[in-house]
Amino acid sequence: FCRVDPYGFERPEDFDYASYEAFFSRYLVVLTRRAIKWSKLLKGNNSIQKSLKVKRYIRKGIPNEHRALIWMIVSGAQTNMEQNPGYYHKLLEGEKNDKLVEAIKTDMNRTFPDNVKFRKTADPCLQHTLYNVLVAYGHHNKAVGYCQGMNFIAGYLILITKNEEESFWLLDALIGRILP
């Protein structure tokens, strides 16, 4: 096993690789079965109908390869993104609030310091993507702006979706509709 997990987090020095391998070799069967069920449910489509079956599947866990898509659909973020083409990029092109930008920049280096993808030496460095998502959201939702801790939520969404705009719309769904 690598010292860095698939999301870019470094494993601690005392990480027990033997126990992890023993657990994962058994759990891989479950994950594979679950991934096959999800693939059949999606049938190559990028949509799902909400149902008890989907709810049950979600509660058991969404496989990594389907997680971003399912989150986008179930949260309503996909619909919002499709109904507002170009909106995210317009937010980034607009004039920036200096206080908002300063607050976001303060937290940039604090975001996932143990993640190699958020280090300035990374190529590409996800700090710029994170900055864009947070600035766009701060201008989109002026009532909230930027709050300490949003960097970790947005950072996690970026790691899962691997897509800047989708991360923005998921953050909007979480903060604007799901969490309140």
CATH classification at residue 160: 1.10.8.270
Q: What residues pair up with 9 in beta bridges, in sequence order?
A: 115
- Residue 22: inside a domain: no
Instruction: Give the domain range for residue 155.
Output: 81-176
d(CA 140, CA 163): 18
The pLDDT tens digits of the residues spanning 107-119 come to: 998 999 999 999 9
- Residue 144: inside a domain: yes
- Residue 75: inside a domain: no
Would the pLDDT of 44 be above 80? Answer: no
- Residue 153: inside a domain: yes
Q: pTM surpassing 0.75?
A: yes
d(CA 142, CA 71): 24
Residue 1 has a pLDDT of 64
Residue 43 has a pLDDT of 86
Share of the chain above pLDDT 70, in %: 99
- Residue 71: inside a domain: no
- Residue 41: inside a domain: no
d(CA 180, CA 177): 6
Q: What is the band of 69 on the pLDDT scale with cuts at 50, 70, 90? A: very high
Within the chain, where are the H helices?
Answer: 17-42, 52-60, 64-75, 77-83, 87-93, 98-108, 126-140, 150-161, 164-172
- Residue 120: inside a domain: yes
- Total domain count, the chain: 1
The pLDDT tens digits of the residues spanning 73-82 come to: 999 999 999 9
The pLDDT tens digits of the residues spanning 80-130 come to: 999 999 999 999 999 999 999 999 999 998 999 999 999 989 999 999 999
